[in-house]
Structure 1
Amino acid sequence: MDFQAFLITFREVLEALMIVGIITTYLRKMDQQQYNKWVWTGVAGAVISSLGVALLFQVVLTGFAAMSSQHYMRISIMLISSVLLTQMVLWMADSSKEIAGKTQDKINKIVTAGSVLGMVVHAYLVVLREGVETVFFFAAISHGDISQAIQSKGALLGVIAACVLAWVIFRTTVRVPLKTFFTVTGFLIMMMAAGLLVQGIGAMQDYGFIGSLNKHVYDISTILPEHPIDEAHLRRIGIEPLISGQIGIFLMAMFGYSSSPSFEEIVAYIGYFAVLIWWIRFRKGNKGQEKNEIAAAASENKKDSVSLQEKVQIAK
């Protein structure tokens, strides 16, 4: 769970800091630094609100556990988190290059209107969105124990790494290849989303909510058990696993690894990547076509303008 928590906090905190950094940098260029204190006021309020959301969410999860209905919440969180992570991947594929321009446009409108409240609200909502997503993802990877994820070393290291990278980007002349960063983290998040989807399907099958055409397509638990408990069980019956169960539990938590997956889990895992990659390429293709059409239209307008000027010259 530590690596998952690291990736989540690193990604979410960095995105929030990037947007806040763009806001404060743009305000400095506009010579409007007096708004900075209101930006950080919004950030502080969002952090406090996010902790409140985490507390509220934990109370709700505890209530479901008391009613012996925690498996419903657990499955729901897994599936919804998979959808949210997928949406994040799509957002990074579509909008990561345009984030600075969009943020500057919003800030320019707020400064022009002279709205201090608007600046606070904008910063607050930007950071709060990342905070709420973090809480939800922590609930998914910790199976409902959000405090465990928040207190993990991975979460703390993720925050520290994000702060350091954000400082490097905005305070030094070192060029950080953000395109590579978004590509790598996007791939890891995609793997995590696929893993949560598969775990959700497996949990539904375990609880008998859905059936299976083949419950165990193969079984490689003797090679790589998916949990140290499985490893200990194998050793009790005289079988020494080839790879430690510690690696198995990491792969299960991070990528949805299963030593004996069902037919539906395999289809869902492969299908997820096939559909998502096709959709990303499809959307990029459409965007490329739109750009070409806009360029062609601009070229035609330019030709028409030139032709009109020639006709005017001839008339003269």
Structure 2
Amino acid sequence: MELQALLITFRETLEALLILGIIITFLKRMNHPEYTKYVWLGASLALLASLGVAFVFQVVLTSFSMMASQIYLKISIMLISSMLLTHMVFWMAKNSRDMKGKLEGKLKAYITAGSVIGMVIHSFLVILREGVETVFFFAAITGGNIQLALQSWGALAGIIIASAVSYFFFKGTMRISLKTFFRITGAMIIVIAAGLLVQGVGMMQDVGIIGSVMPQVYDVTWLLPEHPTDYTQYLRDTGTAPLISGDVGIFFTALLGYAATPSLEEILVYFGYFAGIFLLLWTRNQSSQKKQVDNKKSQVVEDAKVVHSKKVVNV
């Protein structure tokens, strides 16, 4: 859970800080630093709103627990979080290149209109989106205990690392491009999304929402149990301790969706998810390459027309 919290908090905080940095840098470059305080006002209000969302979310989760329906809410959160994480990675891959230009276009409009309210609302919505996503993902990786994730060293470390990266990026000492940076962290997020998806499928099978053709394809509890409890039970039942501690199993379960006794459906969903992601990326790259080729051909045709027209004029 700690590593998941670190990666999610790092990713969301970094995205928020980079966007704020772009806004503030642009305002200073346009000689309008007086608007900076309104940007920070919107960001502060969004942070408070995000904490409010976390509180409400925790109350709802507790209510479902009292109604003995928390398992169904947990399943929903895991599946939705997996989809949101996947969408977030693809969205950032698509928009990271044009994000700066789009932001600056909106800011120019606000400055021209003298809209302080627009500046506050824009920064508020940017930070609120990241905050709400973080709360939702924390609910998924902790099984509903959002407070546990908020108080973890992973969340704190994620914020600190993201702040340091943002600082050095805007100071010009960070040479790596945003596109490459988000590609690397995106790959890690995809792994977490796959794990959440598989855990959701496993929980649905546990409560009988879906069945299984083969409930247990293999059992490697002797090697790496999923949890210290599984370690203790295996030791009690067989008199032999598993080779690796259950604490290590918790780590791999949280990070990779590891299961010591997976069903056939869990295996198919896990590898099918990565196959689907690969297919989507390949299709998008093919489309992008085709578009680049078409643009080059169009440019060559236009250049040829210009050259031809100049020859006609000279004649």
In the superposition, the TM-score normalised over structure 2's length comes to: 0.96
Give the fraction of aligned pairs with identical amino acids, expressed as a percent. Answer: 51
Deviation of 1:179 (Å): 4.2
CA distance in 1: counterparts of 2:251 and 2:192, whole angstroms: 11
Counterpart residue number, 2:304: 303
- Tell me which moved more, 255-264 or 285-294: 285-294
Letter in 1 for 2:121: V
Letter in 2 for 1:56: V
Counterpart residue number, 2:289: 288
Correspondence 1:149-298 to 2 at 5 A: 149-237=149-237, 238-298=239-299
Q: Structure 2 vs 1, CA of residues 176 and 303 (structure 1 numbering), >3 Å: closer, same or farther?
A: closer
Find out whether 1:133 has 2:139 as its counterpart.
Answer: no
Deviation of 1:263 (Å): 0.3
Counterpart residue number, 1:13: 13
SS in structure 2 of the partner of residue 261 of structure 1? coil
CA distance in 2: counterparts of 1:30 and 1:227, whole angstroms: 56
Deviation of 1:101 (Å): 2.2
Deviation of 1:312 (Å): 2.5
SS in structure 1 of the partner of residue 208 of structure 2? coil
Deviation of 1:176 (Å): 4.1
Letter in 1 for 2:38: W
Contact 2:205 2:211 in 1 (8 A): yes
Q: Structure 2 vs 1, CA of residues 77 and 174 (structure 1 numbering), >3 Å: closer, same or farther?
A: closer
CA distance in 1: counterparts of 2:174 and 2:95, whole angstroms: 23
Contact 1:20 1:123 in 2 (8 A): yes
SS in structure 2 of the partner of residue 175 of structure 1? coil
Per-residue CA deviations over 1:128-157 (Å, capped at 9, x if unaligned) read: 100000000000011111111111111111
Contact 2:81 2:137 in 1 (8 A): yes
Counterpart residue number, 1:43: 43
How many residues align structurally? Answer: 314
Contact 2:6 2:154 in 1 (8 A): yes
CA distance in 1: counterparts of 2:115 and 2:293, whole angstroms: 39
> Structure 2: which 5+ runs fail to align?
none
Deviation of 1:290 (Å): 1.4
Letter in 2 for 1:262: S
CA distance in 2: counterparts of 1:210 and 1:15, whole angstroms: 37
CA distance in 2: counterparts of 1:80 and 1:272, whole angstroms: 14
SS in structure 2 of the partner of residue 44 of structure 1? helix
Letter in 2 for 1:239: T
RMSD: 1.4
Deviation of 1:105 (Å): 2.1
CA distance in 2: counterparts of 1:179 and 1:239, whole angstroms: 49
SS in structure 2 of the partner of residue 144 of structure 1? coil
Find out whether 1:69 has 2:72 as its counterpart.
Answer: no
Deviation of 1:172 (Å): 4.8
Contact 1:198 1:256 in 2 (8 A): yes
Q: Structure 2 vs 1, CA of residues 202 and 174 (structure 1 numbering), >3 Å: closer, same or farther?
A: closer
Q: Structure 2 vs 1, CA of residues 169 and 142 (structure 1 numbering), >3 Å: closer, same or farther?
A: same
- Tell me which moved more, 94-103 or 18-27: 94-103
Deviation of 1:95 (Å): 2.2
Letter in 1 for 2:249: G
CA distance in 1: counterparts of 2:174 and 2:11, whole angstroms: 20
Letter in 1 for 2:154: G
CA distance in 2: counterparts of 1:111 and 1:57, whole angstroms: 36
Deviation of 1:177 (Å): 4.9
> Structure 1: which 5+ runs fail to align?
none
CA distance in 1: counterparts of 2:174 and 2:78, whole angstroms: 38
Deviation of 1:26 (Å): 1.2
Contact 1:93 1:280 in 2 (8 A): no
Counterpart residue number, 2:108: 108
Letter in 2 for 1:148: L
CA distance in 2: counterparts of 1:118 and 1:262, whole angstroms: 52
Correspondence 1:24-103 to 2 at 5 A: 24-103=24-103
CA distance in 2: counterparts of 1:232 and 1:178, whole angstroms: 46
CA distance in 1: counterparts of 2:236 and 2:106, whole angstroms: 63
